[in-house]
Structures are given as structure tokens and as C-alpha cells.
Amino acid sequence: MGWSQQFCQFHVPLVLLLLGIFVSETSSTPLKKLSANGDQSLQSVAMPPGACIWHENAGHSRAPCDFEVLDAEFLDVLGKAPKLEFITNAPAREGGVYFPDKEEYYFSSPWNSNELPEKPVNLMKMSLVTGEVSFVMKTNMANGMTLDNSGKLVVCEQGLFEKRGFIQKIDLHSMASSIVADNWKGLSFNSPNDVVVKSDNSIWFTDPDYGQKEHFKGPSQIGKNQVYRVSVTGEVTAVADGFTKPNGLAFSPDEKLLYITDTGTSVGDGTVDLSKPHDINVFDVEGTTLSNRRVFASVAVLDGSLPSIGVPDGIKVDTQGRVYTANQDGIQVFSPKGKLLGLIRVQGAINMGFVGPRLDRMIVTNYSAIHSVQLNVQAAGLLYAEALHHHL
């Protein structure tokens, strides 16, 4: 999403769009009525450590659990021993890319960057072995990132003032870089935000106008916020428009669906607009085109402990087709049909990425810290990591 933090501080009415949320109990109490939609029941099931059943009226009457359970399927995600751990303090924001060659996690950060335009945003990395965070390189307002299928880092560079936004690739061994795309039909992008790579090595990215709203970019040349596809030959095609603020995106495991978040409620100028979208949209993927757009889920914070309605940002999927999105109250997890299953509570979550040989450990970034979550799932879409670990 955009770099403005001010919207998080605005006190706006909480609008819960979730239906039929049930009582939160301790792990010693059996689950009896768990589903958010009231269509499932569980008898005498103990919660794993750190988990509890959500109660719509709990509010501030209890300390939040690490894992809030709304549906039985969330217990499959958590497994018997889920573990949420603080790793380190760091202004870690967007990106969230696992580089298996060196067991590193890359992210974008305004590390030591209080001045513009000299030090806008830096590319950083964290060792997954030691937890040490270190500087990699300066950028032109880097935001979302991913790996392509050969292991190169693909970065959304939003651009800065007169400098165009662009998509670049970086070889993380040699640090050689190249620009993949910097315009659509000769027009400069708004501020490329997040990116994903398909199995055919095509690049798909979102381009909201956060750079314009946050005043580090000039007026939009395109005049609307679109989603683009870059072919392996470098051809740039607009594949979807009609968004307020297209943001995170992820393919389903079979690549027949593309999920795209719309963070329209976060205007980008420090204000919140509750009339704008806070949704996950889903499209059918037909070769190089998208069709049949519909709302997969509307996303809101689960209680009154946060001042805003919620903004779904980064998004990932697992091999079972479940969808994970970073929201202000943490990582919300949805079934393949769009039912909210549960919450991994990391306040202010912006993005996340799966790491490790089994791709079952999630790294979560917010504006101030990095957390780790051990889960009972396997991430989908990390094709380079999957191929490398399979080969090993």
C-alpha cells in the first residue's frame, strides 16, 4: 500500500462486515459453535497454544490471543503447535521476499531515510538464521517485490518526483540490475505497488496513485489505477482497471484465479474514506487476460481496538487455496470460498511472506517490527523456492 501512516491514527466508526462471530473462550473450553456463518459445529475440541475462539462482544474485556479462531478450518492452518514470535525491531514495510539461496528475507524500508529525496527508501534484508537486518541498496521508493522463476528479485520502484516508476530485476548474487518496464503506451506509471510472477515468467503488478496522493510523484499521466502484465519479451498490457487503489495480488495454486486487494479506504493523503473499497477481488485467468471480476471478501478489523475499518494490503495463498491478507489487526485467513477462518494477530501488519524448506513459516512486517509465525501449511506460488528445495 502507500507509505502514509497517518490514516492509522484517525478515529473513524468501526464497521464490522463479518456476520455471526462467536464467543472467545480459553483453550481449556471445548469449541461448540465456531463457524462465522453458523454452519459448522465442533464438540470438545481444545484450542492449540495461543489460540482462542473469537467473541464479537469481547472488545477490551480480555487480552487478545495470538490466534483468533472463527472457523474449524483455521485449526488446520494452525496445527497443534502454532508459534508467533517477535524477531526484531525494524521499520520493515513492503516486499517480503524469501531468497532460499542464502536463507534471507528481503523487504523495503525507510531505514535512516528521514530526508527526501536523498534517502527515500532502502532495500533491506534479514538473515533467517541470525535475525540480523542489514542494508542492501538505495532505491527509488521501492515497494512490493517477488522472485522470478530464475531467482532474480523483481522490484516495484514507485519513482520519485521527476524519476519514473518502473519494474526492475536484480540478481542477488551479482547485484546487477535491469529495468523490465517503465511505461504503458509511452505514459509513465503512477507508482507501481506490488508484483507477482506467473509460471510462464510473465510479471503482473498493480499501479495505484499513492505516489500522487502522497506528493512524491507528479500528476498521473494515465489518469486511472490499473493492473498490468509484462510479457517475457517486455510487452506491457493493462489487464484490469476500475480500482480505487489496486494493491496486493496473488495467483491461486493452479493459476486459474488472480486475487487483487483494493485499499481504497486508505486515500493516501492521511485520511480515511469509508465509502471506498476495502476488499479482496478475484478474477478468472484466461491465458494473458482476466475476466469475471467479483468480490472475494470485504475485509474489516475484528474489534474496536483499532481506529480504522481495515485495509487489506499484502496477499498470499497456500497449496490448499486459502487466502492470507495483511490487515491492520494482523493476518486474516480466508477459505477458498471467501469465508473468514481466523486471524493471526500482529497489529499494523502490512505484508507477509512464507519462508523455509517447507514454506510453512510466515514472516510478518509492520511499520516497526518483524515477526515469525510457524504454521501447518505450505505456501503456493513460490516457484523458485519450491524448485530449489525439491532439487536439494
Q: With respect to residue 50, please indicate whether it lies within any of the assigned structural domains.
A: yes
Mean pLDDT value across residues 274-290: 93
Report the percentage of the chain scoring pLDDT > 70.
Answer: 82
pLDDT category of residue 191 using cuts at 50, 70 and 90 = very high
Distance CA 381, CA 259 (A): 12
Residue 1 lies in a domain: no
Instruction: Decide if pLDDT at 130 tops 80.
Output: yes
Q: Give the separation between CA 343 and CA 322, rounded to whole angstroms.
A: 13
CA 43 vs. chain centroid, Å, equals: 34
Q: Per-residue pLDDT averaged across 161-180, rounded?
A: 95
Percentage helix, strand, coil, to 5, in the chain?
A: 5, 40, 55
Q: Which helix (H) or strand (E) holds 378?
A: none
Q: How confident is the model at residue 17 (pLDDT cuts 50, 70, 90)?
A: very low
pLDDT band at 333 (very low <50, low <70, confident <90, very high): very high
Q: What is the rounded CA–CA span in Å between residue 385 and residue 147?
A: 9
Q: Using 50, 70 and 90 to split pLDDT, how confident is the model at 62? A: low
The domain of 224 spans: 6-391
Query: pTM (2 decimals)?
Result: 0.87
205, β-bridge pairs: 195, 228
Alpha helices in the chain (DSSP H): 73-78, 210-213, 383-391
Residue 207: pLDDT band (50, 70, 90) is very high
Q: Using one digit for the tens of pLDDT, what is the confidence trace for 214-240?
A: 888 899 999 999 999 999 999 999 999
* Residue 1 confidence (pLDDT) above 60: no
pLDDT, one tens digit per residue, over 75-125 is 999 999 999 999 999 988 888 999 999 999 999 987 544 444 444 688 999
Confidence at residue 391, expressed as pLDDT on a 0 to 100 scale = 53
**In the predicted structure, residue 267 carries a pLDDT above the cut 70:** yes
For 370, phi then psi, to 5°, come to -125, 130
Q: Single out the residue of 236, 197, 213, 248 nearest to residue 351, CA to CA.
A: 248
Nearest-angstrom CA–CA distance, 165 and 157 = 5
In a domain, 235, yes or no: yes
Per-residue pLDDT of 142-155, as tens digits, reads 999 999 999 999 99
Provide the mean pLDDT of the chain: 85
Strands 340-344 and 67-69, by their bridges, are antiparallel
Q: Which tops the pLDDT comparison, 286 or 1?
A: 286
DSSP string, 107-176: EEE-TT--STTTS-EEEEEEETTT--EEEEEEESSEEEEEE-TTSPEEEEE--BBTBPPEEEEE-TTT--
Question: Which pLDDT value is given to residue 32?
Answer: 36
pLDDT at 369 over 90: yes
Q: What is the mean pLDDT of residues 256-277?
A: 88
Residue 110 lies in a domain: yes
Count of structural domains within the chain: 1
Residue of 53 and 319 predicted with greater confidence: 319
CATH number at residue 94: 2.120.10.30
Q: Which tens digit of pLDDT belongs to each residue from 27-56? A: 333 333 344 443 345 445 788 999 988 876
